[in-house]
Amino acid sequence: MFQICATNRTPRMTVTLSAFAASVIALVIAGCSSAAGTSNVAKVAAADRTVAAQFAQSGGGIVQSSPVNSLTGSAIQQRLFSVPRPAEIVVNDISDLEESLLYAQRATDADPKKQNGGKWIEAAQIGLLFGAPEGKAFLTAPAGRALVRGEPAESCPALHVATAQTDAEATEGAFRACLRQVSQREGCGCRVIARADRLLAERDDFQYAIGVSSLLVDPATGRQVLMTSEERVIEGRPDVRRLWMLGAAGPIGMLQIERDGRAAFVFSETGKRYDGSHFEDGFRRGRVARRAYLTAKDGKRLVVLVGFEEEELKENSDTLFAWNPSGPLDLKKAEAN
């Protein structure tokens, strides 16, 4: 499928809600709704090592690792050309692949000097490339490279980067990886948004929220704790992510998710662990909105919500705050006021 359409901007919002856990509230009360500052970087790195040890001791089998947080000087100094009025190059089925690869080739081979309205942009100004793990991998690729995202992004949470000897090979690899991930989701395709030194989507498509609002919910009482979360990758384990829940004083806990649907949460101070499953509900400002349903050994339940916007939470509160680990939800689309 080859088409052109406008991009809608999703505004950034915050939520203020009450606390539910006595063991957490002392850490939260200092200001858990504040975005984590630069001082949190070292705290997260240290906590990453501590929680890895806690998981290993409890049978989690998690390897020691550190977040992939940095870019090389050469990657930072790059410039990428933002193609004016970019067409949506989307693969809905493997049969579309050959034609879409041809369109992607044409889009990146066009002379920038002849494309009125396009401009070169510093890598550091492109949030998704500078902040997301896949974006960083794209910027540090030594040769051919492509970045492919689920389409529509709001309901198709897939983002894949591929590198190869040529851009064509990388684009095909990223498309195939994305199609494998979204194949079980109705109405989902895959769109190439960056290839070589070209941005093939509108600037709004490259938003990336470093810190997003997250909620810990006690489904038995409905009480909630609001925090900010940051996403980290696990070195050597590309199918594993850690989402750190941060208050003003540093990490409060960590949600670890795996591509096969398993999830676990550990509180930083007590080491108490909850295990269960997680689901992904599409992108919000470049971050995947996630739900996790977890149970501790003592039977206590915990729901973790990551990345949902304020109006969306209000419209879907009964659904999102409930204990419902059965699968994807049909969420109402909320419009910002």
In terms of domains, do 265 and 228 share one? Answer: yes
Residues 6+ apart with CB under 8 A from 106: none
In terms of domains, do 232 and 312 share one? Answer: yes
- pLDDT at position 46 is 55
List of E strands, 67-173: 79-82, 88-91, 119-122, 144-151, 159-164
291: in domain = yes
58: in domain = yes
In terms of domains, do 267 and 227 share one? Answer: yes
* End residue of a domain, out of 172, 190, 206: 206
303: in domain = yes
Residue 70: is its pLDDT beyond 70? no
The total of structural domains in the chain comes to 2
Across the chain, which distance is largest between two alpha carbons, in Å? 66
Cα separations (Å) of 274 from 55, 214, 229, 265?
Answer: 11, 17, 18, 5
In terms of domains, do 89 and 198 share one? Answer: yes
In terms of domains, do 274 and 168 share one? Answer: no
User: Does residue 152 have a cis bond before it (omega within 30 degrees)?
Assistant: yes
* End residue of a domain, out of 206, 240, 266: 206
334: in domain = no
Binned at pLDDT 50, 70 and 90, residue 29 comes out as very low
In terms of domains, do 192 and 228 share one? Answer: no
Indicate the pTM of the whole model: 0.74
Residue 165 neighbours by CB distance under 10 Å: 10
Q: Give me the domain span that covers residue 173.
A: 84-117+133-206
Per the CB < 8 A criterion, the answer to whether 108 and 101 are in contact is no
Residues 6+ apart with CB under 8 A from 102: none
In terms of domains, do 162 and 230 share one? Answer: no
What does the pLDDT average to over 50-57? Answer: 44
In terms of domains, do 264 and 230 share one? Answer: yes
In terms of domains, do 27 and 100 share one? Answer: no
In terms of domains, do 158 and 216 share one? Answer: no
Q: What is the CA radius of gyration of the chain?
A: 20
107: in domain = yes
Give the closest residue to 52 by CA, choosing from 272, 306, 300, 266.
266
331: in domain = no
- The pLDDT tens digits of the residues spanning 263-288 come to 999 999 899 999 999 999 999 999 99
327: in domain = no
Give the closest residue to 137 by CA, choosing from 14, 238, 55.
238
- The pLDDT tens digits of the residues spanning 153-175 come to 999 999 998 888 899 999 999 99
In terms of domains, do 16 and 112 share one? Answer: no
Residue type at 324 in one-letter notation: N
337: in domain = no
Per the CB < 8 A criterion, the answer to whether 218 and 22 are in contact is no
* End residue of a domain, out of 154, 184, 206: 206
Most confident of 33-47, 226-240, 310-324: 310-324
In terms of domains, do 261 and 316 share one? Answer: yes
Report the chain's mean pLDDT, rounded to a whole number.
79
